[in-house]
């Protein structure tokens, strides 16, 4: 939990930050994307076929979810020959957590 010293106040939140937070929340609004994020966090990195195997979803569906997560800055990809590997990026989640913490602690 961030210390009060490092925690942003609600007046520090710009429209750009609000837009980024909304984009992150929208990208995580689907349970399948949460499942993918948990799998990537646990494995460190997985290729698309690994995610297809572990989720039971069809490849186009997995690719759609990965695209949404990538555009939101939540995953990164790396090409290795014919395979594309994905890994979770935590910076956006940490930012979301920090700002939600402001709301929660302000309400307490």
Q: What is the pLDDT of residues 51-96, one digit of tens each?
A: 999 999 999 999 999 999 999 999 999 999 999 999 999 888 888 8
DSSP state of 50: H
Instruction: Judge if pTM exceeds 0.75.
Output: yes
77: left (phi over 0), alpha (psi -120 to 50) or beta: beta
Q: Selecting from 3.30.565.10, 3.40.50.300, 1.10.10.10, 3.40.1000.10, what CATH number does the domain 12-107 have?
A: 1.10.10.10
Helix (H) or strand (E) holding 46: strand 46-47
Model confidence band, residue 108 (pLDDT cutoffs 50, 70, 90): low
């Amino acid at each position: 939990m961030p210390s009060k010293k490092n925690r942003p106040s609600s007046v520090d939140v710009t429209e750009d930050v609000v837009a980024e937070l909304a984009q992150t929340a929208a990208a995580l609004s689907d349970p399948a994307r949460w499942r993918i994020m948990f799998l990537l966090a646990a494995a460190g990195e997985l290729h698309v076929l690994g995610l297809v195997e572990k989720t039971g979803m069809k490849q186009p569906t997995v690719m759609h979810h990965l695209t949404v997560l990538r555009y939101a800055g939540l995953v990164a990809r790396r090409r290795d020959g014919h395979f594309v590997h994905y890994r979770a990026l935590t910076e956006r989640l940490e930012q979301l957590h920090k700002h939600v913490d402001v709301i929660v602690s302000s309400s307490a």
